Chain A
Amino acid sequence: SAVISQKPSRDICQRGTSLTIQCQVDSQVTMMFWYRQQPGQSLTLIATANQGSEATYESGFVIDKFPISRPNLTFSTLTVSNMSPEDSSIYLCSVSRRGSRTEAFFGQGTRLTVV
């Protein structure tokens, strides 16, 4: 298993500002992901955070809006840039180990409200 610490747990931000969310894992993991859960919606994958290289973004998500860093195997950040009320969501960090029979572990999420 893996224990994931995500900070902040919640925040209220002004329109036009940016917020950086941190994800720390207690052990080295191969795969790190960032998901978004909009109100009343399912979890949607934003991107895969790659260590030492640019993140791999899913359709509909771009680096300028959601820059991601992953400097090592246990830490990643997601920035939500130039926020608007539509960015109000829960953002979740997830980790797994590479392989065909892997399960994912999740952080407690960051509840973001943009006003």
Chain B
Amino acid sequence: AQSVSQHNHHVILSEAASLELGCNYSYGGTVNLFWYVQYPGQHLQLLLKYFSGDPLVKGIKGFEAEFIKSKFSFNLRKPSVQWSDTAEYFCAVTDYGGSQGNLIFGKGTKLSVKP
């Protein structure tokens, strides 16, 4: 069965620090990969997605993620975080070619950015 692992439960950074959140998945086939963000009191929003092509994908608000197939990883990065990036971040995967669209989520990483 597919699974997604997020290595960090809670990350605390100061503003302007660089961010990298780890995500690994287990699945033998081709996958679609996503990062979702949930700001305090708001619903889940898509941050970025990878379907195919360039393994370095750029999302909203300066976030990017790199798909490394050999490592089954899809780490999220941002060179300089802001206080407004305080949120919970979820990595998710679904079958490529599957028409269901149902997602397997990691447990989430809470990011706290100190002003």
Interface residue A60 (Cβ < 8 Å from any Cβ of B): no
In angstroms, Cα B39 to Cα A108, docked, is 11
Question: Min CB distance, B108 to chain A, in Å?
Answer: 6
Q: Decide yes or no: A101 and B99 within 8 Å by CB, A42-B105, A108-B43 being known contacts.
A: no
Question: Min CB distance, B103 to chain A, in Å?
Answer: 6
Of A14-22, A68-76, A92-100, the one touching chain B: A92-100
In angstroms, Cα B45 to Cα A104, docked, is 9
Chain A residues within an 8 Å CB radius of B100: 31, 48
Chain B residues within an 8 Å CB radius of A103: 34, 46, 49
Interface residue A45 (Cβ < 8 Å from any Cβ of B): yes
Question: Min CB distance, A25 to chain B, in Å?
Answer: 13
Say whether B102 contacts A33, CB under 8 Å.
Answer: yes
Q: Select from chain A the residue with minimum beta-carbon distance to B103.
A: A104
Interface residue B42 (Cβ < 8 Å from any Cβ of A): yes
Number of A-B contacts (CB under 8 A): 58
- Please classify the interface of chain B as helix (H, G, I), strand (E, B), loop, or mixed, using the class held by over half of its residues: loop
Say whether A31 contacts B101, CB under 8 Å.
Answer: yes
In angstroms, Cα B94 to Cα A99, docked, is 12
How does the 8 Å CB contact mask read for A72-111 relative to B, with 1 for contact and 0 for none? 0000000000000000000010101111111111111100
Interface residue B79 (Cβ < 8 Å from any Cβ of A): no
Say whether B43 contacts A102, CB under 8 Å.
Answer: no
| Sample of 16 more A-B contacts, CB < 8 Å, known A42-B106, A104-B46, A105-B46 | A4-B43, A42-B107, A43-B105, A48-B100, A48-B102, A96-B101, A98-B99, A99-B99, A100-B96, A100-B97, A100-B98, A101-B32, A104-B101, A106-B36, A106-B45, A107-B43
Q: Chain B: residues with CB nearer than 8 A to chain A? A: 4, 32, 34, 36, 42-46, 49, 51, 90, 96-108
